[in-house]
Structures are given as C-alpha cells and as structure tokens.
C-alpha cells in the first residue's frame, strides 16, 4: 500500500494512491490555509466510515439482508489542546430498505467496528467509538 502527497507553501496537498485516485487535503484558516480539501482529522473519520461501511455491506450481503442504500455519518470530539486527538467518535449507520432485520443490521455494525475494520483497530484504544444503527424502510 502506498500513498504519495505533493504540497505547496499555502498548505494545499494532493494525495494520490497507488491506483491513481487522488483527492485534496488542506488546512484551516487558523493556521494559514483556505479550508480547501479535506483536513487530516476529517480523513481519519472518512477512513473509519469507509472501512466499516465496506464491512457492513459485506456482512449484510452474506446474511442475506436486502437493503437499498446506506448512509454513514461520523462525528468526532477532540481534546481542546495543542495535541488534539479524538476522544470520542460516533458512527451512525442509516440503512435503507423494506423489512430489514434490526438484529442482523446491528450485528453487522458491531462486527465491523469490533472485529473486522482495520481502521477502527488502528485507532488509539483510549478513543471511545460508539455505533448507532438507524433503519429506514
């Protein structure tokens, strides 16, 4: 796995993955950036959502749970200090489709965050990660 970043003195970076896909990373105005692109801590939340989302889709498919779409929202609380790691993260899975089995959906979410998601496993154990599952038919 390889990612390369190129940057400029105005805090604008382009991250490119080994497969050629790219996205922008930027900085907040408080340190001289212009708020363009994802900020690094937002990328951590997006990585957690993407990793767990892929797991949940796989688990639901293997459990023969039919759903039409999924939305994942991630909210993170950070320390108010110069070193500002996350202290709490809430991941909300909104799973859409008629007649979804709540127990299977909640189990898929739990398995992802506790067993299968490599991003979740890479987080500091001091960070509290809470999952919320919302079903919508």
- Residue carrying the six token digits 């959906």: 105
Domain match, 5 and 26 both: yes
Determine the Cα–Cα distance for residues 101 and 104; give it in Å rounded to an integer.
5
Tell me: the pLDDT tens digits for 2-59? 999 999 999 999 999 999 999 999 999 999 999 999 999 999 999 999 999 999 999 9
Give CB contacts under 8 A, 24+ apart, made by 35-39: 36/12, 37/12, 37/13
Domain match, 83 and 29 both: no
Question: Tokens representing 87?
Answer: 């202290």
Dihedrals phi, psi of 80, to nearest 5 degrees: -95, 80
Determine the Cα–Cα distance for residues 92 and 21; give it in Å rounded to an integer.
27
Domain match, 33 and 48 both: no
Domain match, 52 and 111 both: yes
Domain match, 26 and 47 both: no
Domain match, 80 and 99 both: yes
Domain match, 64 and 90 both: yes
Which residues span the domain enclosing 126?
Answer: 40-136
What spatial distance separates the first Cα and last Cα of the chain, rounded to whole Å?
38
pTM check: above 0.85 = yes
Count up the domains in the chain and report the number: 2
Mean pLDDT comparison of 32-36, 77-81, 87-91, highest-scoring range: 87-91
Report pLDDT for 137: 77
Domain match, 61 and 89 both: yes
């Amino acid at each position: 796995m390889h990612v390369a970043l190129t940057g400029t003195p105005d805090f604008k970076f382009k991250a490119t993955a080994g497969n050629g896909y790219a996205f922008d990373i930027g900085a907040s105005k408080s340190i001289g950036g212009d708020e363009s692109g994802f900020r690094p801590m937002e990328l951590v939340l997006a990585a957690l959502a993407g990793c767990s989302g892929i797991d949940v889709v796989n688990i639901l498919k293997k459990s023969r749970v039919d759903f039409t779409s999924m939305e994942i929202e991630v909210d993170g609380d950070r320390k108010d200090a110069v070193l500002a790691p996350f202290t709490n993260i809430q991941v909300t899975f909104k799973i859409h489709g008629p007649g979804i089995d709540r127990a299977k959906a909640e189990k898929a979410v739990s398995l992802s965050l506790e067993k299968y998601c490599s991003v979740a496993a890479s987080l500091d154990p001091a960070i509290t990660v809470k999952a919320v599952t919302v079903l919508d038919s």
